[in-house]
Structures are given as structure tokens and as C-alpha cells.
Chain A
């Protein structure tokens, strides 16, 4: 087990290098000069320009810039500074709790609603309830996140005034609408996936055995059927949590949350390249670690899977 984890961590290295290199390249090959942008319309003396360029390693060849940056990240946890002189790590520390909260709210929504809807649809297969669940899931999956966000803001924020529509001033309640928006599509996928898995599991021999043992239907479904159906769902949720980080860019912008997703958006606009690269590097690390966690979770759910 430990051996497996170490081997997997070694595999992280090439993945992280490749992913960050691509991001670094894309950001630094963007047109425009960030240093010139700093001064706006006012002219900047060539000396100042040159000093600043030197300070941010902008005169080095691309690969040297990249290497210096990554060295700083992995040896000293130094994600660089913005062109305004603020440490990127500072920005990350400020935005991270908001983004993590948002992602967790979205994840809980996916798990709770997705699993309940999936189980009900499977247990009452082909009933009216099943059809309703299926139809609403198709709608949720088909409508773009953007539209869902605005719709929720309009309905539950402005008209019903149940939830705040922007910012994080009111604590966890502020995350309800953004969380639903972020998790909506995946909730639909989770429910559909679980439904088909559970329908299959409920027809299996071991579920028939559980019934023959005189177990209540609820116990048969939850204890015997559901556990076997969860493996693909866990895989999906793991991969999805990472995809969700991308989704935060849109959702945090719609709901005006000052998390990392919104920060990426603003930083790209302001050509704050170090911030973009810093946050994306963090997301990449997060993604690979999450993948490992998902793989380890399989073994916990299904004893037939062993890593050694």
C-alpha cells in the first residue's frame, strides 16, 4: 500500500511539470506587456522598465523563467509576487477558503441530491417518479451553468429573497445558490449514473440473497445494493471535484465571490501572470492528489481491489 502511494506520487512529477509548463507557456506568450500595462497611459522611463523586467525575470529565456518559478514554488513555497508587489501566496490564502467552501457545498449538493434522486429513481424504476427524476436531470444537464446561475439569482435571490445573490457576507448561506449552480450538472450525472448502476445491482444474485434472508427492502437497497453501485459514482465525483475548480471561474464571477476562480478571471484580464500560474499550479496539484485519493477510496469500497 505504502509502496503504491510512493509510486503514484513519483508519477505526479511528470504530470505536474507538463501541466504547469503548458499553462506557463500560454500565459507568458499572451500578447501585451504587463509592465507597460502597470503604468497605464503615463510613459515609463526605460531604466525603470528594465529594472522591473529584471526583477520579474522577464528578460530570461522562457524555459529559464519557468525553471526559476517552479524552483521557487517547490523549494520555498514561493509563488512569486504580483506586479504590484503583493505575494501571490497571500492572494491564494485569501481566496482558497472561499473556493474550497464553494466546492464543498457543491459537492454536498451533488452527493445528497444526486444520491437520493438516483436511489429513488432506481427503486421505483419506470414509475412516474422515476420519469420525473430523469426528465429534470436532462433539463439540468442541458441548461448552461450560466443560465442556471442567473435563474437561481432571479428566483430565489430577487423574487423570493431566500438566499443572498452575491458576495459572502452572510456566511454559509451565501454559498447555497453558487453551490447549487456549480454542482447542478454533476448532480444530474451522479443521479443518472447511480440509477443505472443500482437498477443493475438490484437485479443481482446477492440482492436476491439479501431478500431471501428476510431483510427489509430499505436495508436490501442501502446495505446490499447501494455499496456496490457507488464505485463508478466515487470515480466520477473525484474527477468532477477537479473539473469543478474550472467551474468556479464562471460561478464565482456570476456570484461575485472573491475566491480563486474569480481571481483567475480577474488576473487574466489584468495580465497578472504570476497569479494565474500560481493558482493553476495549485489546481494541478490538487487534481493529481485527488485522483490518488479516489483510487485509494476504491479499495475501501470494494475489497476485491488491492494495491500492492
Chain B
């Protein structure tokens, strides 16, 4: 079932441009401890119908990226220090606030990690879904309710008709996340940002929710940004992966290629740190050291203090995100050697 697409008079963008394009984004947080540079020159592109996974550990800036694109970053303490976020060629950051508000939830929509806290506890779930139709399409109460029930059925909530008046706490975790999804896709958005959508769920439910997201994406030809730290989830659903570290994109590649041939030492380290069921190694290969403090970024490449291949060049100069082969970019001075597996780690790093 595809809902007929209602025209959105609020936006007429350039269809030749990529759906969403983040260019050299800088986001800072002004804290008592100093200025934390959460995002340092981030570049990603998303096309219609494409799933881009943003992969990174805690504090790498994944969620801040999502919130900045959505325009829901708390400012202050957050502050966008530079860059552009172009939706169909138009910069969201310089757009009039009212115009941007009308895009939120309509053209660009978001799913949060913890549906229990992300849904309003004192409002019925049906009301929360219906609010999208009522506010953005001026639909009357009765019709909006019918649409909510249809949306709940679409995301696989059993007995949707009876449950439309229930409250979030009366649903299970998986069902709550489905309601969150129903709300986000209610108006058939072009871009859906899912911020760790399955982290709070049981493993079996995780798979169901991911499958649902994938299905909806294909059906509506949405661009999906999947923010996660879970390499397994990424491998299943993503087309393209952007690996983030310390607020920067380290590597962008096709999902199959990145698993087979990473072109950045950080990605390589991440892949090596996945426990293998057939592994002969007794110890898990963790990346040594800790991510840098955002208030005190290392010079040059942010990964160099932990990188087994680092040289003086790495601490002096920050590498750009440059192509290795077609559709595969890496921000490493030695990307080609890493990609080809010809670069040897430093001796002290081997020990």
C-alpha cells in the first residue's frame, strides 16, 4: 500500500542535485571545559533510494550529525561553526526557519533510539501519528485517525484499530519502535534518518525492525541514513558506509568493498575487532588507546595517536577525504597502500 503522494507546495527544489549533501560541516559545543569540536569538516552525500550507514563509536559525532541535519540540535550549547547541508540543492542551514520547519517530518524525518522516551507518555499513540496529518496536511480529526490506523497496520501492529487509543507504555519495545517508524514515514518523506533504531531492542526484534525499515525504504524510494555502531546491522541493509571518527568521515565506500578491502587504518581496526566465531586468536583485537578528547584534538589526522601506520606526516597534516578507487574515498595519507595491503605497521606498534 502506497499512500498517494500529496503535493508539498512548501518546497520546490532542484531535482538534479543529490537528495542530501553535507558539505564541510563543523559543529562545536561550548562547554565549561572549553570548545568541544563534535563535527570537524564532515562530508557525506545521500541519493534517493540509497541507504547510507554512518558508522562510528560513541562520541564520534554520529548523533550530532543526525540532529544537525534534522535541525533539532540544542543550541546553545551546540553551535554550527560552518558548512552546508543541502537538501535538493538548497542549504538548510541558511533557509528561513519557518520553511525549514515545514520540511521537518514532511520531507526529512527521523527515528530515535529509545522509542519509550521519544514518544510522548501522556498522549495516545494514534494521536501522535495523527498529529502529522492534522498539522501538516490540515486533515480533520476523524480522517487523521483513519490514516493513523492505516499507518499502524502498515508497520505491522496487530489489532491497530483497537490499539490506536493506547498509550506508549502499553506497547512492547518493538511495537513502540514500529509506532515511531509509522510516525516518521506518515507523510512519505524523501529522507529518513534512523539514529540507532534497534539498539534498545532484543536481537530478534532488531531484525524485524530493520527488515521493516528496508521494506519501507524500497517501497517509498526514500534515502535512508542509518546511524549505528553495529557492524552487523550495517552489513545487512546499507548500500554505502561512512565511517566516522572524532567528528570526521574517515572512509566512505560501498558496503561490500569496505568489508573486503578497507582503505583506512581505523576501518581496518574496527573490522579486526569484531569477534569471530571461528577465530583461533584468543585475544580480541581491540584498537589500542582511546578516542581523542573533543576539546583537545590531536594535530593532523585525529586517528594518528592510535594508528599503527602513523608517520610524522600524519601528526603534521590532516589528510583529505580523497578517492582510492571509484566510489571509495578515504581520509588517510597512505590510503592506497592500506587498500592494497602493502603497508607495514611501525615496529613499536607491532610489539
A-side interface residues toward B, CB under 8 Å? 203-206, 208-216, 219, 224, 227-228, 301-304
Contacts and interface: CB of A to CB of B under 8 A. Distances in A.
A228 B121 contact: yes
B167 A214 contact: no
A214 B101 contact: yes
B106 A209 contact: no
8 nearest CB pairs, A to B? A214-B105, A214-B104, A205-B117, A213-B105, A206-B120, A303-B167, A205-B118, A209-B118
B122 interface: yes
A208 B119 CA distance: 10
B332 interface: no
A250 B132 CA distance: 52
Interface string B297-325: 00000000000000000000000000000
Instruction: Kindly name the residue among A205, A219, A227 whose own CB sees the greatest number of chain B CB atoms within 10 A.
Output: A205
A303 to B, nearest CB: 5
Given A301-B122, A303-B124, 12 more contacts: A206-B120, A206-B121, A209-B120, A212-B105, A213-B183, A215-B105, A219-B135, A224-B120, A228-B120, A302-B121, A303-B167, A304-B169
A210 B167 contact: no
B131 interface: yes
A215 B32 CA distance: 32
A210 B122 contact: no
B136 interface: yes
A79 to B, nearest CB: 42
27 contacts: A203-B74, A205-B118, A206-B119, A208-B118, A209-B112, A209-B120, A210-B120, A211-B72, A211-B104, A212-B70, A212-B105, A213-B131, A213-B135, A213-B183, A214-B101, A215-B131, A215-B135, A224-B123, A228-B122, A301-B122, A302-B121, A302-B122, A303-B124, A303-B167, A304-B122, A304-B167, A304-B169
B253 interface: no
Contacts of A219: 135
B209 interface: no
A258 to B, nearest CB: 43
Nearest to A231: B122
B102 interface: yes
A303 B121 CA distance: 8
A214 B119 contact: no
A213 B132 contact: yes
Contacts of A301: 122
B109 interface: yes
Contacts of B123: 224, 227
A204 B70 CA distance: 16
Interface string B118-145: 1111111000000110011000000000
B349 to A, nearest CB: 42
B213 interface: no
A270 B6 CA distance: 77
Interface of B: 70, 72, 74, 101-106, 109-110, 112, 114, 117-124, 131-132, 135-136, 167, 169, 183
Contacts of B136: 214
B72 A304 contact: no
B87 to A, nearest CB: 14
Nearest to B101: A214
A273 B105 CA distance: 67
B117 A206 contact: yes
A208 B118 CA distance: 8
Nearest to A205: B117
Q: Which of A204, A210, A216, A303 has the most CB of B within 10 A?
A: A303
Contact of A205 (B114, B122, B183): B114
B172 to A, nearest CB: 16
A227 B127 CA distance: 14
A215 B136 CA distance: 8
A51 B245 CA distance: 97
A301 B118 CA distance: 19
A219 B123 CA distance: 14
A228 B120 CA distance: 9
| Most B C-beta atoms less than 10 A away, residue of A214, A303, A304 | A214
A51 B344 CA distance: 116
Nearest to A301: B122
A214 B106 contact: yes
A249 B47 CA distance: 72
Contacts of B114: 205
A307 B205 CA distance: 32
B109 A212 contact: yes
Nearest to A216: B101
A204 B105 CA distance: 18
Contacts of A208: 72, 112, 118
Contacts of B72: 208, 211-212
A299 to B, nearest CB: 11
Contacts of B105: 212-215
Contact of B118 (A206, A216, A228, A302): A206
A224 B128 CA distance: 10
Contact of B112 (A205, A227, A303, A304): A205
A47 B313 CA distance: 117
Contacts of A206: 117-121
Contacts of A204: 117
B106 A212 contact: no
A215 B102 CA distance: 8
A25 B122 CA distance: 46
A124 to B, nearest CB: 14
